[in-house]
Amino acid sequence: MILLWLLIVPLAASPLAFFLRRRHLMEAVNLAAFAVLLCLAAALGVRLLRSGPVSVWDGFFYADALSALVVLLSAFVALVCSIYAVGYFRHDESSGVFKEGEELGGGRAINKLREYYALTPLFVFSMILVALANNLGILWVAIEGTTLASVFLVMFYGRETSLEAAWKYAIIGGVGLSMALFGTILTYYSAHQALGTDTLAGLNWSVLVGNASQFDKPTMRLAFILILLGYGTKAGIAPMHTWKPDAYSEAPVPGAAMLAAGVLNCALYGLVRFYILSSKCLGQEFASHLLILFGLLSMGVAVPFIFASHLLILFGLLSMGVAVPFILVQKNFRRMLAYSSIDHSGIMVLALGFGGPLGVLGMLLHMTFHSITKPLLFFCAGNVQQQLKTDLFREAKGGLIHSMPLTGAAFLMVTLAVTGAPPFSLFLSEFTILRAGFSRGYLVLTILFITFLVAIFSGFLIHIANLVLGPDPGLPSAETCRWKKSSVVGLALVIIVMGFWIPAPLFRLIQHAADIVTSGR
Amino acid sequence: MTFLQDPEFGDRIITLMAALVLVLQIAAVGQRWLVSSIRIFAVQSFLLAAIAGIIAYFNHASHIYVAALLTLILKAALLPWVLERLVRRIEIRREIEPLINAPLSILISGCLTLVGYVVAQSFYHPEETSVRAALGHNTLAVAIALFLIGFFTMLNRRKALTQVLGLLSLENGLFLAAISLTYGMPLVVELGIFFDVLVAVMILGILVFRIREAFDSMDVSKLRKLRE
């Protein structure tokens, strides 16, 4: 029953917000719905730890520790984003951002808000559905659903650039997901020969996983490649990452944070489910090598885009032509966040590729910590952008800590956290992945992994430090909105606490999920 | 009327129709009028619905009838109607010169068809002599070719609307692959996919319209402000 409630709550919140029309009511509906959702998700986790997997409707919906973890993270991200969204959109409204949009053919402010508050629950609903669907076909439908519900978030402001970003997002996402659908069809086919069922259960994960070793091997191999390309596009791993910087920088900040911290998990979740099937069918080698390749590639791609300014000196001497892309890149801090996200999806895919109990544990820990940390990075960037009315480094003079002490401090802290500096929790997961890499004998690749991490750490930190620290440029002090403040402070506290102490039930849930990935049960 | 029960006959009809689907796809590659492209898509979808119907008939698989009917209503009627209205509203009738010219594009499509056959060959298990295996081979090749050509169209064309059509024909390829390999996906999945396709086209339609308004053009190569 709890599974159904998890789906009903966001699904009901959407029309409710749509018909209520008043800003306060819409905000309240969103906040209440996601708060309830988080409680339900926690209850699901507790129940799973006590009594094992649950399913309803003849196994149409099914939850094990892995799905519970993704549900929990999605609900958490949705709640913190909805708290921040209240402050963010009130600021947008008062500073007249929507009025500019009106001239460009966007709707009135209240309609814009309605669009956001009605579509976000649908978006969250599809994320929850991804985790709870037992049928791999429904899983695909739900992941496509997350794309469809979020296209409007990307084109929210109705600027030319937003339309461009939305177009890229929809088309690249659509093509990528069609590959994933092809992969799903082929998986069905390869299982079909072994199971011979024409019924609904033929694509149910709980059925497939027990019989994966009898699947047709060549078909499964092709299927996994297609799935990796498809869900990899959605997770934004290189070289299918090109939509990400555009979409993340054009969507309103709370929406972008949900894309970065929520949808990423869903796409990786889909990938993990198929990884389990393929490693049972083909052995680990095949999937691992592909995952490691894509994982390292994503991290590598992110490096030059983040590191920009200092490579610039080097490249500038070599050739202006080579340096041009790097100059352009580092101009926008919202886009830089997207490269950080590409980097992190690379890390997770790489960890899965290293495999073994340690690698999988590292991946799931990283997924958890990343979902908790990433939203704060977006919120800080959003605060800065709303204050300065620009997202370009060039126009920000630095010294933000004087006019925005809270955001500035949080920004520095979360930058350290997100790049994996101790004592923050992402250090722990990255260290686990590192150990997994060495213990599985990937010596050179692990050293490459460390190199990328260090490069990203230094590049990222230099940029944000330049933005936050420095002499006071004499801006008026901001930070009056208590919604924005409370979401930033609250999340910062969670991140600090998680650095030193992980709640035991959460850790057990992650361990159970890791067991499912390594053993299939 | 005994031939109506003969699986051999069904197989031939299906192969013929699959061939027609492929021919239409290649014709669409060389087509520059938007309305004609949309109509080609409609006819193609109609043929797919017919193939699905025939497979359902010969294998007594009732759930494929539903998929066939949905294809007929959605892809052969509703979507083309929506897209044609869109074309009329945005008042752009012709595709500008594609990146690769028509004769070369058709040649490339031919090569992609070959690739489709080679890939499909690798799935073909000669030890299975049932109708299913024989039927699967040809249609699967066509399905993979449709998928690849759809992909190519999306890369080659610059109008937003033709990219949508490319995506749709890619989806048609997947539908054909699904019914030829496994007699379609489970019904509930099939319904979900149809729903997603419908919503996706609506959203892309809105986007096309907004892009046309904002840029005064539907040329996606003009979408290049967001660059590194």
Inter-chain residue contact B227 with A105, CB threshold 8 Å: no
Chain A residues in contact with B156 by the CB 8 A cut-off are none
Q: Taking CB atoms and an 8 Å limit, are B182 and A192 in contact across chains?
A: yes
Quote the CA–CA distance of A216 and A214 in Å, as a whole number: 7
- What is the predicted pLDDT for the residue at A306? 55
Between chain A and chain B, the number of residue pairs with CB atoms below 8 A apart is 128
Please say whether the beta carbons of B112 and B149 come within 8 A. yes
User: Each residue of B171-225: pLDDT tens digit?
Assistant: 888 888 888 777 767 777 888 888 888 888 888 888 888 888 777 766 766 676 6
The predicted structure's pLDDT at residue A305 = 57
B68: closest CA of chain A, how far (Å): 17
Query: Is B211 in contact with B160 (CB distance < 8 Å)?
Result: yes
Q: CA of A152: how far to CAs of A375, A412, B220, in Å?
A: 20, 31, 19
- Please say if the pLDDT value at position B79 is more than 50: yes
* A18-46: burial string, b at 16+ Cβ within 10 Å, e else: bebeebeebbbbbbebbbbbbebbbebbe
Token code pair at residue A427:
């250090």
pLDDT of residue A298: 73
Contact state of A141 with B189 under an 8 Å Cβ cutoff:
yes
Residue A363: which of A458, A276, A470, A448 has the closest Cα?
A276
For residue B133, what are the domain limits? 2-222
Chain B residues in contact with A198 by the CB 8 A cut-off are: 61, 183
Q: Token match 């929506």: residue? A: B82
Query: If pLDDT is split at 50, 70 and 90, which confidence band does B125 have?
Result: low
Structure tokens at B148: 């690849």
Residue B135 within any structural domain of the chain: yes
N- to C-terminal Cα separation, chain B: 66
Residue of B nearest to A145 (CA): B196
CB contact under 8 A, A138 and B188: yes
| Identity of the residue in B160, B192, B204 whose CB atom sits nearest the CB atom of A141 | B192
Interchain pair B188, A200: CB under 8 A: yes
| Chain B residues close to A305, C-beta within 8 Å | 228
Chain B residues close to A151, C-beta within 8 Å? 203, 207
Q: Are strands A54-56 and A61-63 parallel, antiparallel or unpaired?
A: antiparallel
Global pTM reads: 0.89
Asked whether residue B227 is domain-assigned, the answer is: no
Cα gap A247→A236, rounded to integer Å: 11
Q: Which residues contact A263 (CB under 8 A, 6 or more apart)?
A: A127, A146, A150, A234
Domains in chain A, number:
1
The mean per-residue pLDDT over the stretch B21-27 comes to 89
- What pLDDT does B10 receive? 78
**Does a structural domain hold residue B196?**
yes
Provide the CA A104 distance to its chain's centre, in angstroms: 30
CA A344 to chain CA centroid, Å, is 9
Three-state DSSP class for B129? coil
- DSSP run (H or E) holding A91: helix A65-94
Among B123, B204, B224, select the one facing A170 at the smallest CB separation.
B204
Query: Mean pLDDT of residues grouped by 10 in chain A (521 residues)?
Result: 88 89 87 93 91 83 91 94 90 76 61 88 94 90 92 86 88 90 87 65 78 80 86 83 85 92 92 87 76 74 53 31 37 79 84 84 92 92 83 73 86 89 88 88 82 79 81 73 87 90 90 86 62
Output the six-digit token pair for A71: 């549900």
Percent of chain B at pLDDT > 70 equals 84
What is the total residue count of chain A?
Answer: 521
Write phi, then psi, for A62 (nearest 5 degrees).
Answer: -150, 135
CB contact under 8 A, A178 and B167: yes
Alpha helices in chain B (DSSP H): 7-30, 34-59, 62-70, 79-90, 102-121, 131-156, 160-182, 187-215
A348 lies in which domain range? 2-519
The whole-number average pLDDT for the span B15-41 is 87
3-state secondary structure of B95: coil
Residue B58 has pLDDT above 70, yes or no: yes
Residues of chain A found within 8 Å of residue B116, distances taken between Cβ atoms: none
- Taken in order A276, A278, A280, A286, the sign of the CA dihedral is negative
**E strand or H helix that includes residue A374:** helix A356-388
B224 → chain A, closest CA residue: A164
How far from B21 is each of A405, B18, B139, B141, CA to CA, in Å? 64, 5, 10, 12
Number of separate domains in chain B: 1
CA distance B195 to A137: 13
Rounded Cα gap, residues A48 and A68, in angstroms: 8
Nearest CB among A170, A188, A250 relative to B185 is that of A188
In a domain, B228, yes or no: no
